[in-house]
Chain A
Amino acid sequence: MGRNLGQQIALAFERLLDAFLSVVPAVLVLLAALLVGVLTGLLLRTILRLAIRLRRRVHGEELSGSRQLLRAAGFRADPELVAGTVSFWTAVVVALAVGVNALEPGALRNVLSEAVGFLPRLLGAVLLALVGLGIGALVRRSVLLGAVNAGLPWARAGARAAYFLVVASFAAAALDHLGVGRSILVAAFSIGGGALALTLALAFGLGARDLARGWLEKKLRAEEEDSGIRHV
């Protein structure tokens, strides 16, 4: 019986070793793919940096359109750095996807496929969130300047509200892209948007009817009168 037990244990270890050895090539393939991805990413990043530096040398220190766009959106990051980082990680994700596809069919491949398959969506969601932050910053600044130059007292609050509205929209789009709480998001936005519009309409048009009339009259009169100055 003792010998039989020993044989069973040895057999189990043998099966474990077989299973382990069957995974090693897959891991090696993945590591190789990762290495190729990293090297490709580094190469791409270097080429991009060289191209950007060459462009700068040709056009002097003039700011490129991409940097202006980033600055306009409130980002201080160097476009060289942004382009390098994006290209590097794109190469790594593509290499990983290729590596996973090269694996033998099985549970490991399924798990890794799902994990790697999620990465592009994750990157897409991050990109959406960043674009949302950028557009939000642009909208906030534009609303703030427009409202201040129009002499509206709620300039800062209005700009902040516009910013949060834009960022919330993009955040919802990013979550939707990830497939998180899709139906809840749609319902929340519908309810929130409707409630906001109704609240504002009631507050301004009904609850503060006199204030609304007064404000509109004052605004229209002010537009007619302005400051009295001829500027040019």
Chain B
Amino acid sequence: MTGRLPPLSRDVADDIGRIGAVDVLVGIPSFNNERTIGHVVRAVVAGLARHFPDAKAVLVNSDGGSTDRTREIVERTEVGNLAEILVDAVPSGSTAKIVTPYQGIPGKGSAFRTIFRIAAELRAKACCVLDSDLRSITPEWVELLLEPVVRHGYEFVAPLYARHRYDGTITNTIVCPLTRTLYGKRIRQPIGGDFGFSGDLAARFLEFEDWEGSVAQFGIDIFMTTTALAEGRRVAQSFLGAKIHDPKDPGSDLSPMMVQVVSTLFSLMERHEKAWRGISGSEPVPVFGFPYAVGLEPVPVKLDRLLAQYRQAAHDLPPIWESFLSPASLTAIRDAAHAPAVALGDEAWVRIIAESAAGFHRKALPASTLIRSLVPLYLGKVATFVAETEAGSAEEAEARLEELALAYERGKGMFETLWGTAP
């Protein structure tokens, strides 16, 4: 391994020595999640008992220094009467637990890094990671994320959720279509947060050398997905149903989260340039699980607020955008701002993203400045999408997102050309 390994405490080393090796490992990163983590732990223990009764399994909680009872809850949570929960399954034994604080800069990525290290030490054959603030998780999630790896030879399993059309808009307008266009695989939720992967791939993640940047924070999800795609690993998706979080979601703080996700996405373009150049079009990725309709909680969008922010930025930010956007893009931004209802078209949006990626690559501006200046443009694109789809059905909204993804694919040559001329 080339990267420096994250340190493990003596207690964890003792636990690893006692456990030896495992078949499956479930990792849960946490930080002050006392309200929800008990439910997640119960679902995991029940899922392992039901779907992997003969496997040697371990649950790893990598905590970011919670000041509430999160760690205590993980240690003490008992699943209750498994015979009642599982009905037809006979539980074999209790699931081993490792509860440890992680070291490194605070963030989800640092928590995952410790999980990867423990997975490598325990020579886990298959792993999955689950968010600790999930309210909608069921024992089946464990099966759906681990089974494709354990029994079907897949190396990476991305989640597929039923989500409201205005839930996950960075995913819908940037991350999903760009990842699909670059690497040629249609992963619908590249930054979903809950993933399954092989032990071999966990060890590969651990080899990454820069755990001081955005990968240590919210960039970890796109890092994992992109690494799997760029290295040509066998990739699948699993339908998990609805994803319902705790109301206080750390990802709701837009600017820093967007900087972390998009800067990771762009910097991985630099890292994997050979992998994405030359790919045209995209192909579907196998889906495990049984997709079903879910009654989704509506997402009330304040369109006026989005429009106001976009229009103000169109007035105030051109001096910054001039550093990396072309006159054609600036004109499109200005025209959209002056339209009665903001209409930032797909072609213009794809060009803005391509020029931003190239600007990031040639360091036209500091990375965080460049991406923070994209925030109001992204809000403008979201406002356009909301205006176009609010009267239609969920299927029509999904079809509209497919049109956007195809626009990205048509713009692939532009990504390659602009990237090639930078710096």
Chain B nearest CB from A224 CB (Å) reads 11
**Distance of A227 Cα from B379 Cα, bound (Å):** 10
Chain B, interface size category, equals: 35 or more
Q: Hey, which chain B residues are within 8 Å of A225, CB to CB?
A: 302
With A72-B365, A148-B309 as known contacts, state yes or no: A232 contacts B316, CB within 8 Å: no
**Distance of A227 Cα from B385 Cα, bound (Å):** 14
Q: Hey, which chain A residues are within 8 Å of B317, CB to CB?
A: 144-145, 148
A155 within 8 Å of B by Cβ?
Answer: yes
**Distance of A226 Cα from B382 Cα, bound (Å):** 14
Chain B nearest CB from A162 CB (Å) reads 14
With A227-B302, A230-B299 as known contacts, state yes or no: A68 contacts B366, CB within 8 Å: yes
Closest 6 CB pairs of A and B: A63-B363, A231-B170, A230-B167, A228-B300, A232-B251, A228-B301
A148 contacts B376, C-beta separation under 8 Å: yes
Q: Hey, which chain A residues are within 8 Å of B300, CB to CB?
A: 228
Q: Is the interface of B mostly helix, strand, loop or mixed?
A: helix
Q: Nearest residue in A to B375 (C-beta to C-beta)?
A: A149
Q: Hey, which chain A residues are within 8 Å of B366, CB to CB?
A: 68, 71-72
Q: Hey, which chain B residues are within 8 Å of A71, CB to CB?
A: 363-366
A155 contacts B316, C-beta separation under 8 Å: yes
A231 contacts B372, C-beta separation under 8 Å: no
A124 within 8 Å of B by Cβ?
Answer: no
Q: Hey, which chain A residues are within 8 Å of B252, CB to CB?
A: 226, 230-231
**Distance of A71 Cα from B360 Cα, bound (Å):** 13
Sample of 29 A–B contacts (CB below 8 Å): A62-B423, A71-B366, A144-B320, A145-B373, A148-B309, A148-B316, A148-B317, A149-B254, A149-B309, A149-B375, A149-B376, A151-B308, A151-B309, A151-B312, A222-B305, A228-B166, A228-B300, A229-B167, A229-B299, A229-B306, A229-B382, A230-B168, A230-B251, A231-B170, A232-B171, A232-B175, A232-B193, A232-B257, A232-B261
B169 contacts A231, C-beta separation under 8 Å: yes
Among the interface residues A67, A72, A145, A225, which one has the most CB atoms of the partner chain B within 10 A?
A145
Chain B nearest CB from A78 CB (Å) reads 13
B166 contacts A149, C-beta separation under 8 Å: no
**Distance of A153 Cα from B312 Cα, bound (Å):** 8
B316 contacts A229, C-beta separation under 8 Å: no
Q: Hey, which chain B residues are within 8 Å of A219, CB to CB?
A: none
Q: Nearest residue in A to B323 (C-beta to C-beta)?
A: A71
Q: Nearest residue in A to B423 (C-beta to C-beta)?
A: A61
Encoded as 1 (CB less than 8 Å from any A CB) or 0, chain B from 169 to 211 comes to: 1110001000000000000000101000000000000000000
Residues of B within 8 A of A (CB): 166-171, 175, 191, 193, 218, 249, 251-252, 254-255, 257-258, 261, 299-302, 305-306, 308-309, 312-313, 315-317, 320, 362-366, 369, 372-373, 375-376, 379, 382, 423
Q: Hey, which chain B residues are within 8 Å of A63, CB to CB?
A: 362-363, 423
A227 contacts B261, C-beta separation under 8 Å: no
Q: Nearest residue in A to B218 (C-beta to C-beta)?
A: A232
What's the tally of chain A residues with a CB closer than 8 Å to chain B?
26
Q: Nearest residue in B to A144 (C-beta to C-beta)?
A: B316
A156 within 8 Å of B by Cβ?
Answer: yes
Q: Hey, which chain B residues are within 8 Å of A156, CB to CB?
A: 315-316
Chain A nearest CB from B86 CB (Å) reads 32
**Distance of A225 Cα from B247 Cα, bound (Å):** 12
Chain A nearest CB from B187 CB (Å) reads 14
A232 contacts B312, C-beta separation under 8 Å: no
**Distance of A156 Cα from B168 Cα, bound (Å):** 30
Q: Hey, which chain A residues are within 8 Å of B305, CB to CB?
A: 151, 222, 226-227
B362 contacts A230, C-beta separation under 8 Å: no
**Distance of A229 Cα from B365 Cα, bound (Å):** 28
**Distance of A229 Cα from B254 Cα, bound (Å):** 10
Encoded as 1 (CB less than 8 Å from any B CB) or 0, chain A from 144 to 171 comes to: 1100110101011000000000000000
Encoded as 1 (CB less than 8 Å from any B CB) or 0, chain A from 122 to 160 comes to: 000000000000000000011011001101010110000
**Distance of A80 Cα from B320 Cα, bound (Å):** 25
Q: Hey, which chain B residues are within 8 Å of A226, CB to CB?
A: 252, 254, 302, 305
**Distance of A26 Cα from B170 Cα, bound (Å):** 73
B376 contacts A232, C-beta separation under 8 Å: no
Chain A nearest CB from B58 CB (Å) reads 28
Known: A144-B317, A230-B251, A232-B168. 9 other contacts (CB 8 A): A63-B423, A67-B363, A71-B363, A151-B305, A153-B312, A156-B315, A227-B379, A229-B169, A231-B168
B168 contacts A228, C-beta separation under 8 Å: no
Q: Hey, which chain A residues are within 8 Å of B299, CB to CB?
A: 228-230
**Distance of A148 Cα from B166 Cα, bound (Å):** 22
Q: Nearest residue in A to B167 (C-beta to C-beta)?
A: A230
Chain A nearest CB from B293 CB (Å) reads 20
**Distance of A219 Cα from B243 Cα, bound (Å):** 30
Chain B nearest CB from A149 CB (Å) reads 5
**Distance of A155 Cα from B318 Cα, bound (Å):** 13
B372 contacts A145, C-beta separation under 8 Å: yes
With A61-B423, A229-B382 as known contacts, state yes or no: A72 contacts B302, CB within 8 Å: no
A231 contacts B257, C-beta separation under 8 Å: yes
**Distance of A186 Cα from B218 Cα, bound (Å):** 47
Q: Nearest residue in A to B362 (C-beta to C-beta)?
A: A63
Q: Hey, which chain B residues are within 8 Å of A68, CB to CB?
A: 363, 366
Q: Nearest residue in B to A151 (C-beta to C-beta)?
A: B309
